[in-house]
Chains A and B, each alone.
Chain A
Amino acid sequence: AQTVTQSQPEMSVQEAETVTLSCTYDTSESDYYLFWYKQPPSRQMILVIRQEAYKQQNATENRFSVNFQKAAKSFSLKISDSQLGDAAMYFCALNNAGNMLTFGGGTRLMVKP
């Protein structure tokens, strides 16, 4: 069985500052994919960034980047130049069979103006 753990139920960041959200996972597979999803109050899950486990280079998408440590099974999300619109629930997720996603419990990010 695979598991995803987000140890930070809530995080807070000042607007324009940088924040890092933590995620650890466990899987017996060697080939898998990791994702960060954003869920605003509208409930719509939005894909923020994805990382293929076989790639050593960390994925980046504009202000969003990841620190993927495969040996440590760690996959943190860094948000730079935080904006008020970044406030949401963030979920880390794992896919290793091309089918269902396994999600962490989520981190609520608050952005202070």
Chain B
Amino acid sequence: GAGVSQSPSNKVTEKGKDVELRCDPISGHTALYWYRQSLGQGLEFLIYFQGNSAPDKSGLPSDRFSAERTGGSVSTLTIQRTQQEDSAVYLCASSLPVPQPQGAHPDEQYFGPGTRLTVT
């Protein structure tokens, strides 16, 4: 079946402009994650959705960053007034529902190919 898809693959934008990054998770995966990977670095957690709600927004670096998810499927990460330090690869992942209670076996996260954002 289809994996996680992300669009656009690459995005170049001018400083100060807003950008929207899209993630289509695997069908049936109710958990969705956004990560940021700066050049030569590991992945940094941004936000997590269970269905349409985001119980954990702790990783969003500033109030310029926001994300939403509609219909329990597609998610959009929006960065307002982009800055050069926002340049990075933004990766999305999805997984089957996180089991309750927390601490039970986490299911594998399947990653998309990422969106490379360049702010000039």
A contacts, CB < 8 Å to B: 4, 6, 29, 31, 33, 37, 42-47, 50, 52, 91, 93, 95-106
Chain A residues whose C-beta falls within 8 Å of the C-beta of B91 in the assembled complex: 43, 45
Mostly helix, strand, loop or mixed at chain A's interface?
loop
Closest 3 CB pairs of A and B: A45-B111, A103-B42, A100-B45
Q: Are A104 and B104 in contact (CB under 8 A)?
A: no
**B14 near A: Cβ within 8 Å?**
no
CA distance A105 to B116 in the complex (A): 18
**B1 near A: Cβ within 8 Å?**
no
How far does the Cβ of A94 sit from chain B's closest Cβ, in whole Å? 11
Which chain B residues in 70-91 approach chain A with CB under 8 Å? 89, 91
Mostly helix, strand, loop or mixed at chain B's interface?
loop
Chain A residues whose C-beta falls within 8 Å of the C-beta of B116 in the assembled complex: 43
CA distance A33 to B98 in the complex (A): 14
> Given the known A-B contacts A47-B108, A52-B105, are A98 and B98 also in contact in the complex, defined by CB atoms under 8 Å?
yes
CA distance A66 to B114 in the complex (A): 28
**A6, A42, A93, A97: the one within 8 Å of B102 (CB):** A97
Chain A residues whose C-beta falls within 8 Å of the C-beta of B12 in the assembled complex: none
How far does the Cβ of B50 sit from chain A's closest Cβ, in whole Å? 9
Q: Could you list 9 A-B pairs, sorted by A, with CB under 8 Å?
A: A6-B42, A44-B114, A45-B43, A45-B93, A91-B43, A93-B43, A101-B109, A103-B35, A105-B41
B contacts, CB < 8 Å to A: 33, 35, 40-45, 48, 55-56, 59, 89, 91, 93, 98-99, 102-106, 108-109, 111-114, 116
**A33, A43, A102: the one within 8 Å of B114 (CB):** A43
Q: Are A95 and B113 in contact (CB under 8 A)?
A: no
CA distance A44 to B113 in the complex (A): 5
Q: Are A31 and B98 in contact (CB under 8 A)?
A: no
Chain B residue nearest to A37 in the complex (CB): B111
**A37, A43, A102: the one within 8 Å of B45 (CB):** A102
Q: Are A43 and B99 in contact (CB under 8 A)?
A: no
Chain B residues whose C-beta falls within 8 Å of the C-beta of A93 in the assembled complex: 43
Chain A residues whose C-beta falls within 8 Å of the C-beta of B108 in the assembled complex: 47, 50
